[in-house]
Amino acid sequence: MDNYVTGAAIKSLREAKGLTQEVLAERIHVSAKAVSKWETGKGFPDISLLEPLAKALDISVIELLSGEDIRNRNRAFNILKSVLYVCPACGNVIYATGEAVISCCGIVLPPLMLEPMDENHRVHTENIEDEIYVSMNHPMTKDHFISFFAAVSDQGIQIVKLYPEGNAEARFKRSRFSSLYAYCKRHGLFSLRLSRTGNLPSAAEKKE
C-alpha cells in the first residue's frame, strides 16, 4: 500500500467501538503496552497483525488503512449518491451507489469530483434511432485524452472506455438517463445533466 495505519487512526477507531486498549490487545493477542505504543506513534503494528486488528475493530483492512469506518447509510438506491473512481495505475473505472472505501492496484482511491464545464470539455449529444450518440471535440493523445464516457440512469450505469488515438465518442442504448459523464485524464470529471422526461438536455439546459 502507499499508506500505512497510523496511531491516531487506531485510537479513533478503537474509541468509536468503545474498546479499551486492554480489550483490543486481548483480542489480537498482544500486550496493552503494544497498543499504547501504536497509538502514541512510538511503534507500528506488524503487517501480519493488520487483518486481526481490522477484525477486532469490525472493519476491513482497507478501512483500517484509510482511518475511516465506512457505514453506508444509503439503504435504498439514490442516483444522487452515485460515486465514480478511477485507478491512476491501470485506468480501472469503478462505480459505487453510495459511500465506500475503494482500492485498486494497492491504492486507496479518492472519489472523482466534478469540474466546472468549459468549452474544451463540452459534451455533445444526438439522438440516433434507439441510441444516444455522445462526443467531445478533445485531444486523444497518450497523455491527454478522454478515458471514458458514462451514462447514469435510475437503473444503473453504462460505461464506455476510450483509448488514445481513438475518437472521443460513444453510443448508449436510450434509457431514462439523468446524467452523462466524461473523464479527462488530465483535467478530471465533467458532466451533462439530462432532461427529466427524456434522454437529451433541453435548449435551456444546454446553455448551462
What is the number of structural domains in the chain? 2
Domain boundary among the residues 66, 82, 110 is at 66
Spatial CB neighbours of 145, under 8 Å, sequence gap ≥ 6? 138, 139, 162, 163, 164, 168, 184, 185
Domain boundary among the residues 23, 50, 66 is at 66
The verdict on residue 114 lying in a domain is no
**Which residue has cell 486498549?**
21
CATH number, residue 48: 1.10.260.40
Domain holding 130, by residue range, is 119-206
Please give the single-letter amino acid code of residue 28. I
Q: Has this prediction a pTM greater than 0.75?
A: no
The verdict on residue 83 lying in a domain is no
User: Which of 44, 68, 48 lies closest to 57, judged by CA?
Assistant: 68
Domain boundary among the residues 66, 95, 110 is at 66
The verdict on residue 125 lying in a domain is yes
The verdict on residue 53 lying in a domain is yes
CATH number, residue 125: 2.60.40.730
Give the number of other CB atoms < 10 A from CB of residue 145: 19
Q: What is the pLDDT along the chain (208 residues), one digit of tens a residue?
A: 344 678 888 898 889 889 999 999 999 999 999 999 999 888 888 888 888 998 998 887 777 776 655 454 444 444 556 789 998 888 899 988 777 778 888 787 888 888 888 889 999 999 898 888 999 999 999 989 999 999 988 777 899 999 999 999 999 988 778 888 999 999 999 988 775 444 444 444 444 4
Q: Are residues 53 and 126 located together in one domain of the fold?
A: no
The verdict on residue 97 lying in a domain is no
Report helix angle 21-28 to 32-39, nearest 10: 110
Note the helical H segments in 17-80. Answer: 21-28, 32-39, 50-56, 61-66
The verdict on residue 93 lying in a domain is no
The three cell numbers locating residue 77: 438506491
The verdict on residue 72 lying in a domain is no
Q: Are residues 126 and 189 located together in one domain of the fold?
A: yes
The verdict on residue 129 lying in a domain is yes
Task: At 2, give phi and psi (nearest 5°).
Answer: -90, 5
